[in-house]
Amino acid sequence: MMGETTLLTHNKNEMRIHRAGYTIIFLFAAVYLALFISMANIPTCHGLIEYTTGISGALLLCFLFFFFRNPERTIIPDNMVAVAPADGLIVALEEAFEAEYLNRQCIKISIFMSVLNVHVNRYPVSGKIKYTKYHPGSYFIASYPQASELNEHYSTVIETPAGHSVLVKQIAGIVARRVVCYAKEGEQAIQGKDMGFVRFGSRVDLFLPLHAEVVVHLHEKVKGNLSSIARLYN
C-alpha cells in the first residue's frame, strides 16, 4: 500500500519562511548590501564586477528564501496514524534495534532530504515528549546508514495516548552543520506541528513499534504531513 494522504484543513502554497532561517537570511542580506554599496563607491571597480556580484548575491538570496520555505500544512491529528516527519526519499525501511532509549527491536524508516526538499521537520504523532537529547558528531553523507549513529543529531521520543513510544532522529548531513529541535521533555507534541529544522541536506529516522502497519515503500517519495507512514494499533 502506498503512503496515504492525511486529512488537511489547510494546504496553502503561500510563501512563508521558517524561523530557523531568519538570522541567516538577515545576515547574508546585510553583508551583501554592504558589499554592493562599497563596490559602487570605489571608482576603480569595474562595472562588470559590480554586475556579477549583484547577480550572484541576488541568486544566493533567492536560494536561501527557497531553502527555508515553510509551506502551511495543517492537519487534523489522528492517533492511529504516524505521518511523515519530513519531505524526502525513503532510503531505509527495516527492522533495527534502537539502543539509545527504547532498547528494543523497532521498524526503522529513514527519510533523506536533498537540498531541494522542504527541510521543515514535523511531529509524526501526538503525545508526551518523554526524552530529547543532542548528540554532537561527524558530517558524513546523510543517506549512508552509519549517519544515524555517527553524524550530529537530535533524538526525541514521543509517547502517544495509546502508550506507543516513537523515536525521531534529526540527522545532519555532509553539508548541514546545524540541527534545530524545538522539542522539550515533558511538553506535549501535536501531530503535524513544527518540530525543528536541519540545514542544507539531511535525514530523519523514525523508529516505530514492530506491530505498526507500514504503508510506504523503500525509495518512495513522501511529504511531511501529506503522507502517512504507518498505522498504529492498540
| Catalytically annotated residue among 110, 148, 202, 228 | 202
pLDDT of residue 218: 96
Is 155 noted as a catalytic residue in this protein?
no
Of all residues in the chain, the percent with pLDDT exceeding 70 is 78
Comparing 20-29, 109-118, 152-161, the range with the smallest average pLDDT is 20-29
The model's pTM is 0.82
**Taking residues 125-139, what's their average pLDDT?**
89
**Taking residues 118-133, what's their average pLDDT?**
95
Comparing 14-28, 79-93, 125-139, the range with the smallest average pLDDT is 14-28
Grid coordinates in use for 132?
530529547
Beginning with the edge strand found earlier in the chain, give each strand of the sheet holding 104-113 in spatial order: 188-189, 127-135, 153-159, 165-172, 202-208, 104-113, 88-98, 221-222
**Taking residues 6-22, what's their average pLDDT?**
66
Only one residue has cell 502551511, namely: 72
> What is the per-residue pLDDT across 191-228, written as a single tens digit (0 to 9) for each?
999 999 887 668 899 999 999 999 999 999 999 999 99
Only one residue has cell 503522507, namely: 227
Q: How many residues does the chain have?
A: 234
- The DSSP annotation for 173-223 comes to -SS---EEE---TTSEE-TTSEEEEE-SSEEEEEEE-TT-EE---TT-EE-
Helix (H, G, I), strand (E, B) or coil at 167: strand
H/E element, 155: strand 153-159
> What is the per-residue pLDDT across 25-67, written as a single tens digit (0 to 9) for each?
888 788 877 776 776 666 655 666 666 777 787 888 888 887 7
**Taking residues 72-98, what's their average pLDDT?**
93
Grid coordinates in use for 48?
562588470
CATH number for the domain running over 77-231: 2.70.70.10
pLDDT of residue 29: 82
> In which band, very low, low, confident or very high, does the pLDDT at 118 lie, cut at 50, 70 and 90?
confident
Grid coordinates in use for 196?
525543528
Could you tell me which of 8, 182, 206 has the C-alpha nearest to residue 90? 206
pLDDT of residue 54: 72
Rg (CA), the chain: 20
